[in-house]
Amino acid sequence: MLSLQIFPHKGLDMNRERIDIIKLGGSVITDKTSYKKLKKNTLQDLIRIISIWDKKCIVVHGAGSFGHILAEKYSIVSGYQNKEQLAGLAQIRYDLNDLKQKILEVFNEKGINVLDFQTSALAYQKAGSADKEIFIAPVLKALEIGLLPLLSGDILFTDDESFTIYSGDSLIDLLAQNFDVSRVIFLTDVNGLMVTDSTSNIVKLLENASFEEFNRIEPADYSSEGKADVTGGMLGKIDTIKAILNNVDEIIIVNGNYPERIQKILDRDRTICTVITGRKSTKR
Ligand code: IP8
């Protein structure tokens, strides 16, 4: 008779190579005002550049109009309230798969060995805890053997509310706690973080900030475009960025509609973007 044995994880190298995490923002790869509208050309441009990235990386994509529109309609962020929400939940998961499939297709066209993971199948939130648990070993192993892991924001199951929205940004925070991450690059539809100068009241691009400087800036100082987004848009990013900064060298926020800027970041050249130095950086 065949007997099954459970082996401890072999080959999970704790002194592993440092990685970058790239977030394909939902607002840059989809038209957020139009249900399930993909910006195919932009997606192709971005993946063309990612396919020549000089380092091991994980790609996380946002949901854009494949997730946020129905998430708002069915109040997914509030957790389980009524059974009508289940139709919304199932449809959003279906739509997210659809978006992921479209992204995978473009990676495949570029000959990249990309492998997708369903975030909600790897992560869970236990009762009475704000922290999420993630089963990281499969992602780690995929990276180790040379695959490019692709994950996304998702609807996560929880003990307390049954389910909740889990943004790709929060997922990146969790990944940064578990991997040795050098840079996190947010590809968005804005040039970076806009801040309002408290004396002149002029809104300008924040080009560089240290971890300490970034923590001193009050949320009210950030300029917001006021776009509807169940995970809070750019303003909602701020706290997550502060958390991620604890575990990475650098966070870069760059406009994904300008592929040449991303190319410059890849080449470590200066370009229009926001660069925030993390707590772990040796460059400080
Ligand atoms: O677009 C949200 O992820 P995000 C996930 O990264 C859903 O904020 C399902 C709306």
Mean pLDDT, the chain, whole residue set: 88
At residue 10, the pLDDT reads: 39
CA of 152 to the centre of ligand 1 (A): 7
Kindly give the distance from the C-alpha atom of residue 64 to the centroid of ligand 1, in angstroms, as a whole number.
Answer: 7
Predicted confidence at residue 219, as pLDDT, reads 61
Mean pLDDT of 94-105: 98
Q: Is 14 within a domain?
A: no
Give per-residue pLDDT as tens, 140-192: 999 999 999 999 999 999 999 999 999 999 999 999 999 999 999 999 999 99
- In this prediction, residues 71-84 reach a mean pLDDT of 96
Q: With respect to residue 49, please indicate whether it lies within any of the assigned structural domains.
A: yes
DSSP string computed for 21-69: EEEE-HHHHB-TTSTT-B-HHHHHHHHHHHTT-SS-EEEEE--GGGTHH
Q: Decide if 11 is inside a domain.
A: no
Q: Is residue 10 part of a domain?
A: no
In angstroms, rounded to a whole number, what is the distance separating the alpha carbons of residues 179 and 196? 34
Q: What percent of the chain has pLDDT over 90?
A: 72
Please identify, by atom number, the ligand 1 atom nearest to the C-alpha of residue 61: 6
Atom of ligand 1 nearest to the CA of 229: 8
35 found inside a domain:
yes
Name the least confident of 2-11, 127-136, 170-179: 2-11
Task: Quote the pLDDT of residue 201.
Answer: 81
Does residue 7 sit within a domain? no
Instruction: Say yes or no to pLDDT of 226 above 90.
Output: no
CATH code where residue 155 lies: 3.40.1160.10
pTM of the predicted structure, to 2 decimals: 0.90
Q: Whose CA is nearest to atom 9 of ligand 1?
A: 154
Q: Is residue 16 part of a domain?
A: no
Ligand 1: which of 69, 120, 165, 241 to mutate, judged by most atoms within 8 Å of the beta carbon?
165
Q: Closest residue (by CA) to atom 8 of ligand 1?
A: 167
Any residues with Cβ below 6 Å from ligand 1, and which?
A: 26, 62-63, 67-68, 71, 92, 153-155, 165, 167-169, 230-231
Distance between CA 21 and CA 103 in Å, rounded? Answer: 16
Read off the tokens for 256.
């994904």
135-142 contact pairs (CB < 8 A, 24+):
136/175, 136/178, 136/179, 137/9, 137/12, 139/58, 139/175, 140/12, 140/16, 140/178, 140/179, 141/9, 141/11, 141/12, 142/115, 142/117
Mean pLDDT of 33-58: 94
Q: In the chain, how many domains are there?
A: 1
The string of pLDDT tens digits covering residues 108-127 is 999 999 999 999 999 998 88
Q: Which residues form the domain of 202? A: 25-282
Q: Is residue 8 part of a domain?
A: no
CA 72 to centroid of ligand 1, rounded, Å: 11
More confident of the two residues 193 and 30: 30
